[in-house]
């Protein structure tokens, strides 16, 4: 099966031609999608009709191992019965819109911070695949930032300074900056992971800045210098010309490379309108990103 990709932004993100991903099992087509991911970092597939199990099985076919140690699983079990299938919604188990003070809601609001999925785990996340199940009648967009373009735009001396730096990522950290409170037991399970500041895609050799609001400090720099550097880099990486904004249509299925992009949900009136999305994320195992050492 031939899939064509049409660019959605000058730098990255593309829309795939019509295909039912449930029926994609052949290695040639899966490899075409992987090559599309290497080139565009965000791929939009329209009109998909996955059940949660079909979505999970497609993720395994495309990219292997699944991320199951999600942050939310520490707070509550997935309503899909498998921690690999993440409920990205503002509804409770009965399908009702969450109360404004619900813990699940407050936790999920941190998706509005620029982040990458599963950078707080080792192995880190690779591809995330988000399916739009039920959309509100108002815009509830998701923005993506191209972290390869952000890396390329750095001055050579900055690139040299960043190569080899190690950054601590913690999902508890990004939530705490918003005032979310964890119990001691929860915090113990959310210690975070150490990640390189610069990653290199082993298939293309392209480098990217690996940042997120989960990035709490740079191990090789004292506080506050490291935190200030992280803030400057986040500002740089989310310049408007590096950002693609996705306006969701029902049936959209978006795959992004967490090593090459950041993303964030845009605000909408989430205490009024239901929004149900379902995500599966793979792990960066089997030909993982290389750690960039020198320019």
Quick check: bond before 260 cis, omega within 30?
A: no
Q: Determine which helix (DSSP H) or strand (DSSP E) holds 211, and give its type and residue range.
A: none
104 binds ligand OGA (CB under 6 A): no
Applying CB under 6 A, among 85, 131, 162, 265 the residue interacting with ligand OGA is: 265
CB of 277 to Mn ion, least distance (A): 10
Partners of 15 in the beta sheet? Answer: 6, 44
CA–CA dist 232, 209 (Å, integer): 12
* Paired tokens of 99: 């109360």
CA–CA dist 120, 134 (Å, integer): 28
Q: Give residues with Cβ within 8 angstroms of 274, minimum separation 6.
A: 89, 90, 91, 97, 134, 136
Which residue's beta carbon is nearest to the bound ligand OGA? 265
* One character per residue 140-179, x = contact with ligand OGA (rule: CB under 6 A): --x-------------------------------------
Applying CB under 6 A, among 263, 283, 289, 292 the residue interacting with ligand OGA is: 263
Beta strands in the chain (DSSP E): 5-7, 14-16, 42-45, 86-89, 125-134, 142-146, 166-169, 193-196, 198-200, 207-209, 215-218, 243-246, 253-257, 261-265, 276-283, 290-291
CB of 182 to ligand OGA, least distance (A): 19
Q: Which does 277 bind (CB under 5 to 8 A by kind): ligand OGA, Mn ion, none?
A: ligand OGA
111 binds ligand OGA (CB under 6 A): yes
Applying CB under 6 A, among 90, 128, 208, 261 the residue interacting with ligand OGA is: 128
Q: Where are the alpha helices (DSSP H) in the chain?
A: 27-40, 52-63, 103-108, 147-152, 156-162, 171-176, 184-189, 225-237
CB of 142 to Mn ion, least distance (A): 9
Binding site for Mn ion (CB under 5 A): 117
* One character per residue 203-242, x = contact with ligand OGA (rule: CB under 6 A): ----------------------------------------
277 binds ligand OGA (CB under 6 A): yes
279 binds ligand OGA (CB under 6 A): yes
29 binds ligand OGA (CB under 6 A): no
Residues that bind ligand OGA (CB under 6 A): 88, 111, 117, 128, 130, 142, 263, 265, 277, 279
């Amino acid at each position: 099966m031939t899939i064509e990709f049409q660019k959605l932004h000058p730098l990255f993100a593309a829309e795939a031609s019509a295909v039912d991903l449930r029926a994609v099992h052949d290695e040639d087509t899966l490899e075409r999608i992987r090559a599309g991911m290497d080139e565009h970092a965000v791929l939009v597939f329209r009109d998909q009709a996955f059940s949660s199990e079909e979505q999970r099985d497609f993720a395994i076919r495309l990219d292997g191992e699944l991320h199951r140690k999600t942050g939310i699983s520490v707070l509550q079990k997935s309503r899909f019965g498998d921690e690999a299938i993440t409920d990205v919604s503002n509804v409770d188990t009965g399908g009702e819109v969450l109360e404004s003070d619900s813990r699940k809601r407050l936790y999920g609001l941190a998706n509005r911070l620029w982040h990458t999925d599963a950078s707080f785990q080792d192995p880190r996340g690779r591809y995330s695949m988000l399916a739009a199940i039920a959309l509100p009648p108002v815009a509830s967009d998701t923005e993506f930032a191209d972290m390869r373009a952000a890396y390329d735009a750095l001055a050579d001396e900055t690139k040299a300074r960043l190569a080899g730096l190690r950054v601590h990522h913690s999902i508890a950290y990004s939530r705490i900056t918003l005032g979310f409170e964890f119990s001691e037991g929860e915090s113990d399970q959310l210690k975070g992971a150490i990640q390189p500041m610069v990653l290199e895609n082993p298939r293309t050799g392209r480098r990217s800045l690996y940042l997120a609001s989960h990035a709490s400090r740079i191990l090789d720099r004292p506080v506050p210098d490291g935190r200030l550097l992280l803030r400057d880099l986040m500002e740089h990486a989310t310049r408007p010309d590096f950002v693609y904004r996705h306006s969701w249509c029902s049936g959209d299925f978006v795959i992004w490379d967490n090593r090459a992009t950041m993303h964030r949900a845009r605000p909408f009136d989430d205490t009024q309108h239901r929004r149900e999305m379902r995500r599966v994320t793979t792990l960066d195992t089997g030909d993982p990103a290389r750690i960039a050492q020198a320019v």
